Chain A
Amino acid sequence: NAGVTQTPKFQVLKTGQSMTLQCAQDMNHEYMSWYRQDPGMGLRLIHYSVGAGITDQGEVPNGYNVSRSTTEDFPLRLLSAAPSQTSVYFCASSQLLGNTIYFGEGSWLTVV
């Protein structure tokens, strides 16, 4: 069981570069979300999706884009990386009628 898979695990970017963090789930979950985790601040919601073709903004969406062309995939794009986007990023998924939210193992991003 793969669950929620995030790639890459570690990435170093230069300011201004763009990149995509990949998230895939094999559980046919309708809901998917992206969070960032910063020291002393818990996890904060960036974007979320309730199904293919539908996305919405969370608490901290600026500087990030998402799309949901398939149920399985929910990539997070950084268009022009900034040092303030240095963080650990987590993808999560859950069923429409389920109570368990599954998280990926995280992607460590450093912007220099």
Chain B
Amino acid sequence: SQELEQSPQSLIVQEGKNLTINCTSSKTLYGLYWYKQKYGEGLIFLMMLQKGGEEKSHEKITAKLDEKKQQSSLHITASQPSHAGIYLCGADEGSARQLTFGSGTQLTVLP
């Protein structure tokens, strides 16, 4: 199975600042999922990327998958306290949508 490394492990930013979270795989990514998790809650689906060079945006969050399909980045523009939480990347292992997850990035946005 794949190994996913997320960086940074934690991030503290001032409200209004931009930030980027990276997810690097040991193997080619055939489906890369981004989720957000708040403490005590489930995982909220953000985006899913499949094609090399693909980029998707939702509100102020943009996710990209590099051409080699081994690294994805999540970029938040003009961060807000509502963006705070744990961001998780997950790689689709194939046959039944089983995901291998990174260890997560804890984001704190200071007002």
| Interface contact tally, CB-CB below 8 A | 60
Taking CB atoms and an 8 Å cut-off, the chain A residues in 93-112 that contact chain B are 94, 99-106
Assess A58 versus B45: contact at CB under 8 Å? Given A40-B103, A101-B33: no
The smallest beta-carbon distance between B87 and chain A, in angstroms, is 11
A35 vs B97: C-alpha distance in the bound complex, in angstroms? Answer: 12
Which residue of A has the minimal Cβ distance to B6? A42
Interface size class of A (residues with CB under 8 A): 20 to 34
Cα distance A106–B100 when bound, in Å? Answer: 17
Set of chain B residues within 8 Å of A103, measured between Cβ atoms: 35, 42-43, 45
Taking the complex as formed, is A50 at the interface, i.e. its CB lies under 8 A from any CB of chain B? Answer: yes
B82 interfacial by beta-carbon distance below 8 Å: no
Select one of A31, A35, A44, A99 contacting B96, CB under 8 A: A31
Contact of B103 among A35, A41, A45, A102 (CB under 8 A): A41
**19 A-B contacts (beta carbon < 8 Å):** A31-B96, A33-B98, A33-B99, A40-B103, A42-B4, A42-B101, A42-B103, A42-B104, A45-B98, A48-B96, A48-B98, A58-B98, A59-B1, A59-B100, A94-B97, A99-B31, A99-B48, A101-B97, A105-B41
